[in-house]
Chain A
Amino acid sequence: SAVISQKPSRDICQRGTSLTIQCQVDSQVTMMFWYRQQPGQSLTLIATANQGSEATYESGFVIDKFPISRPNLTFSTLTVSNMSPEDSSIYLCSVADGHTGELFFGEGSRLTVL
């Protein structure tokens, strides 16, 4: 199974600022995803982080708000731009094991916007 590390684990930010979340995997993975979990809610897929190309965003999410980088097969970043209190959520990185079909999650980054 893949071990996924996310930084920061939590942060408190001011409205209008931006925060970048890092996701590091202990092995090379083809498929990497970013999810959002708003308070008391389930998880929603934000985008697929594609290595060497632009991320693929789900409906309701745009690159200007959630720019994503994927410079190699073990690392990705998600930036939450121009934050508002509505962006207060847990952001989770996920990777897929192409051999077993399993999907693994990081511990999440809990973001609070004041």
Chain B
Amino acid sequence: AQSVTQPDIHITVSEGASLELRCNYSYGATPYLFWYVQSPGQGLQLLLKYFSGDTLVQGIKGFEAEFKRSQSSFNLRKPSVHWSDAAEYFCAVVQPNDYKLSFGAGTTVTVRA
């Protein structure tokens, strides 16, 4: 069965500093990979996705993620965080053409001034 691991439960970062959130997956084949953000009291917003091709993908709000097949990882990065980036971030995977997402446990990001 596929699984998603987000090793970091909580990350605190200073405003303007860089951010990296880790995501590892366990799956026999390369799944489709997603990062979602959930702000307090809000629904889920898609930040970016990887299906195939260029392993460095750009998303909204200045986020990017890099797919590394050898490490089964899909880490999310942002060069300079803003206070509005404080939220819960979820990595998710799905078998191609299945559409049933498996989510990681989530990483809470706190941004300090």
Residues of chain A touching chain B, judged by Cβ–Cβ distance below 8 Å, are 31, 33, 35, 41-45, 48, 58, 92, 94, 96, 101-108
Task: Pick 7 A–B contacts, CB within 8 A, sort by A.
Answer: A33-B101, A45-B100, A48-B100, A101-B96, A103-B34, A103-B101, A105-B44
Whether the pair B32, A101 counts as a contact (CB closer than 8 A) is: yes
Residues of A within 8 A of B49 (CB): 101-102
CB distance from B36 to the nearest CB of A (A): 8
Nearest residue (CB) in B for A32 is B99
Number of B positions contacting A (CB below 8 A): 21
CA distance A41 to B38 in the complex (A): 12
Residues of chain B touching chain A, judged by Cβ–Cβ distance below 8 Å, are 32, 34, 36, 42-46, 49, 51, 90, 94, 96, 99-106
CA distance A92 to B32 in the complex (A): 21
Whether the pair B94, A107 counts as a contact (CB closer than 8 A) is: no
Known: A42-B90, A92-B43, A104-B46. 18 other contacts (CB 8 A): A33-B100, A42-B104, A43-B44, A43-B101, A43-B103, A44-B103, A58-B100, A92-B44, A101-B49, A101-B51, A101-B99, A103-B99, A103-B101, A105-B43, A105-B44, A106-B43, A107-B42, A108-B44
